[in-house]
Structure 1
Amino acid sequence: MDLQAGGLMDDEADAVDVSEQIIARYRPLWAALTEPESFEQGERWRVDARIRRLNDLGFDVDELSISTDIGGASVQIQPKVVDAGHHSRRLLRLTGLDVGENQARRLLNDLDSYRAATDRQGDSEELVAHDWLAHVFEAVVHAVPRRLGSKLEPAEVFHEVLEHRWYLSERRGWDVPLPEVVADYVATVLPTKPDEAAVLGVDTQALPVVDASPGGTRTQQ
């Protein structure tokens, strides 16, 4: 009404209706940002769903904690807004992986979820990242047969495996074990990808290989 009185809003607009629309949109946004969510054991994919909703709203995860009791588990996520390039810089600092911003955000979401699911919020971020890199990221990359190794870069393979896990888990309604996800991805998705050599017009076997392990050399011939 003040905006209408000041000539900053169409006089024909219903001020009461507009205010009710603002409230109706604000409440689910506030709930998505602040409400804890409970789920049963074996439903970690629902944590990923919550993070995806935050990402779609323009927010990222600042802190993620999961508490477990007899009745199941509950997740509490603290969202935040970050500056451009934040995810790429953070992932590079923690793991040595130098990837694009969207890939970095997806990998960091999995790292944060891994940290909460293994109840390691009290451990240093660097130590957890090292274990995640060795036991999760590298395990997925090494599961790709050599004959398919030229299809995609390791970070892109892992990114697509995470997406595949999400779709499989959502479809089945429970957490699909990562080895099963990788096996299904390698059998049904990866073979359909064109070789990078065909896309780039170069022999990918001649390209330098990035050593993503902490403290490793950046490239090897």
Structure 2
Amino acid sequence: MPPEDVDVIMVAPKAPGTEERKAYLEGFGVPGLVAVKQNPSGEAREVALAMTKAMHWTKAGILECTFEQETYEDLFGEQCVLCGGLVELMRNGFEVLVEAGYPPEMAYFECVHEMKLIVDLVWQGGIKRMAEVISNTAEYGMWAVGHQIIGPEVKEKMKEALKRVENGEFANEWVDEYKRGIPLLKASREKIGEHQVETVGAEIRKLFAQK
């Protein structure tokens, strides 16, 4: 624990480091979070905001939060939605189409490549705007089928994951993984690298490279 006479602050970008750097070099910035845990000097908040301004985050916007809120929400989002949830959704969708006899290249386009196009629409205008922009057929399928795939049972699993984050179980598990030389990470990276979704994806990116 830090001494009581020391300011304790946190500044956290709401974007991957590569995107943060890109935005900075372009003269803009990414949204960020600021938290103050200890403020004996009375200037901790001002120092934190000055740091975000130096990194151009204030051009995009800053939200204030607590250390706990940022930590728990960030881990939950990574595990259940942005990384873990999204990757498993794409991989399983790809496998279902390929196992049903559809061309892997088309399966990749439908379940992986086009993900960015849809997410960009949500990023730009929200879910409602995305629904208005896609075809009526796509929108109907979204409302009629989506909740059957990601239903109440998945939400309950998400709640369990959040509890594991909040009670420290995930942190302990991660510390143990790190002490053992990250065997799960290494094995998982190798496994996904050998998966057909990756080998097909590499070929697709070569053939349809974005210039």
Q: Compare the two structures and name the one with the higher strand fraction.
A: 1
Q: Same fold per TM (> 0.5)?
A: no
Which range, TM-score by smaller chain?
under 0.3
Q: TM-score under structure 2 normalisation?
A: 0.26
Q: TM-score under structure 1 normalisation?
A: 0.25
